[in-house]
């Protein structure tokens, strides 16, 4: 089992067992905890402040909590889900003190997030496994691809990158830099080339070189730009000529500071590109943090990864328990 993705091993048609997995890679050095990374975001600060003393269990506390959740981009529907059971149980006097309510809030947050905590699964029978990365401008797609490629390679996968963002010359150079730094081949063409053609050529090359995972960058585009959104559908059609199941994963990168507009982005990209998973970046620092709950509540799409900082190890497999623990104090006063 790999820590950054799950590898699905499939027996061959003759019924033979797949080869034994390679030895587990050396684990990376210890990273900064979720709690330390998330301490600065608005949701964590607001909830911690509410429970910093010994608050009285009344409707006023729930109203303050509701305001904190809405201000942190949790959204109306998800906030309602989180508070409904708290309100019912508080009115039934089930909580001995505020620690009981805090524990219930934690449980409700986990209930909302656990169904979407599904790691990326790479099927050995689908080689090369094609992972297409999409999103609006400025969300950190290319950086996420570079970190993802390094993690995949570090854990034993043979990786290739496709520079499908042909509208921005800097994106091609940035991807090439990531490739050179990590010894990962990058398929690219001149600026302005047809993106579908670049990714098609990359898939051909990946097949020829027996690559495990092909990660394809695409140009950043606003979800309202119909022409550019249609290009994503074209990429899917072109890839299907080589592999009817490609892309096997369409990973949409979302900026954690975007707020409720993130839902509009996911809605449009899902319709056009067939999004199968999400990576939510920039959840540390200035992020409000609640968008993760809003996306989980509305779409139920797997949240594969979250970004909680700038370093390689700050792109992490989404762990709802660690995430919620990073937002909430363990007990009153902590």
Percent of the chain with pLDDT over 90: 54
Mean pLDDT of 85-109: 92
| Structure-model confidence comparison of residues 330 and 213, the more confident one | 213
In a domain, 161, yes or no: yes
pLDDT at residue 224 tops 80: no
Q: How confident is the model at residue 25 (pLDDT cuts 50, 70, 90)?
A: very low
- CA–CA distance, 114 with 176 (Å, rounded to integer): 36
In a domain, 297, yes or no: yes
Based on C-alpha coordinates, what's the Rg of the chain? 21
Q: What is the DSSP letter of 255?
A: E
Mean pLDDT of 261-273: 90
Q: Decide the pairing of beta strands 186-187 and 277-281.
A: unpaired
pLDDT at residue 77 tops 60: yes
- CA–CA distance, 41 with 290 (Å, rounded to integer): 9
- CA–CA distance, 8 with 1 (Å, rounded to integer): 9
> Which range, 4-13, 20-29, 137-146, 240-249, has the best average confidence (pLDDT)?
240-249
In total, how many domains does the chain have?
A: 1
Q: What's the pLDDT at 26?
A: 41
- HEC assignment per residue over 64-97: HHHHHHHHCCCCHHHHHHHHHHHHHHHHCCCCCC
Mean pLDDT of 264-281: 92
- CA–CA distance, 250 with 52 (Å, rounded to integer): 41
Q: Is 64 helix (H, G, I), strand (E, B) or coil?
A: helix
> Which range, 68-77, 136-145, 204-213, 223-232, has the best average confidence (pLDDT)?
204-213
pLDDT at residue 137 tops 60: yes
H/E stretch holding 315: strand 315-317
In a domain, 316, yes or no: yes
Mean pLDDT of 58-75: 92
Q: Which domain holds residue 314?
A: 116-327
- CA–CA distance, 231 with 245 (Å, rounded to integer): 18
pTM of the predicted model, to two decimals?
A: 0.88
- CA–CA distance, 299 with 88 (Å, rounded to integer): 26
In a domain, 224, yes or no: yes
Task: Classify the C-alpha dihedral 96-97-100-104 as positive or negative.
Answer: positive
> Which range, 2-11, 68-77, 167-176, 225-234, has the best average confidence (pLDDT)?
68-77
Mean pLDDT of 133-137: 92
Q: If you average pLDDT over every residue of the chain, what do you get?
A: 86
Q: What's the pLDDT at 47?
A: 83
pLDDT at residue 51 tops 60: yes
Q: What's the pLDDT at 10?
A: 57
pLDDT at residue 23 tops 50: no
Mean pLDDT of 255-266: 88
Mean pLDDT of 195-204: 96
Q: What's the pLDDT at 79?
A: 95
Burial class from Cβ neighbours inside 10 Å (0-12, 13-18, 19+) for residue 153 reads middle
- Residue 156 pairs with which residues in a beta bridge? none
> Which range, 1-10, 70-79, 221-230, has the best average confidence (pLDDT)?
70-79
In a domain, 60, yes or no: no
Q: What's the pLDDT at 21?
A: 42
CATH number where 131 lies: 3.40.50.300
In a domain, 133, yes or no: yes
Q: What's the pLDDT at 334?
A: 58
Cα atoms in the 13 Å half-sphere on the side-chain side of 334: 12
In a domain, 225, yes or no: yes
Phi–psi pair at 316, nearest 5 degrees? -125, 150
Q: What's the pLDDT at 121?
A: 92
């Amino acid at each position: 089992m790999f820590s950054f993705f799950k590898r699905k091993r499939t027996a061959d048609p003759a019924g033979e067992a797949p080869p034994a997995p390679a030895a587990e890679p050396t684990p990376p050095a210890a990273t900064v905890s979720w709690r330390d990374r998330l301490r600065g975001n608005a949701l964590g600060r607001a909830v911690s402040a509410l429970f910093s003393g010994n608050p009285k269990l009344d409707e006023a506390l729930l109203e303050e909590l509701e305001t904190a959740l809405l201000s942190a981009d949790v959204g109306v529907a998800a906030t309602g889900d989180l508070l409904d059971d708290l309100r019912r149980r508080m009115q039934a006097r089930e909580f001995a003190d505020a620690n009981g309510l805090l524990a219930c809030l934690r449980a409700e947050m986990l209930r909302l997030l656990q169904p979407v905590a599904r790691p990326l699964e790479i099927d050995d029978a689908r080689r090369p496994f094609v992972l297409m990365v999409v999103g609006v401008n400025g969300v950190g797609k290319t950086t996420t691809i570079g970190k993802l490629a390094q993690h995949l390679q570090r854990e034993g996968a043979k990786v290739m990158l496709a520079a499908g963002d042909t509208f921005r010359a800097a994106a091609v150079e940035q991807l090439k830099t990531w490739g050179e730094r990590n010894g990962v081949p990058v398929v690219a063409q001149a600026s302005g080339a047809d993106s579908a053609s670049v990714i098609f050529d990359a898939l051909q090359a990946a097949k020829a070189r027996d690559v495990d995972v092909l990660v394809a960058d695409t140009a950043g585009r606003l979800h309202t730009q119909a022409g550019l959104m249609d290009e994503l559908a074209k990429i899917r059609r072109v890839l299907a000529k080589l592999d009817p199941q490609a892309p096997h994963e369409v990973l949409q990168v979302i900026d954690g500071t975007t707020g409720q507009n993130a839902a509009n982005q996911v809605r449009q990209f899902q319709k056009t590109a067939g999004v199968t998973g999400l990576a939510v970046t920039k959840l540390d620092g200035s992020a409000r943090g609640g968008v993760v709950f809003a996306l989980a509540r509305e779409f139920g799409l797997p949240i594969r990864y979250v970004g909680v900082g700038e370093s390689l190890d700050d792109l992490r497999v989404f762990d709802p328990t660690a995430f919620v623990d990073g937002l909430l104090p363990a007990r009153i006063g902590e």
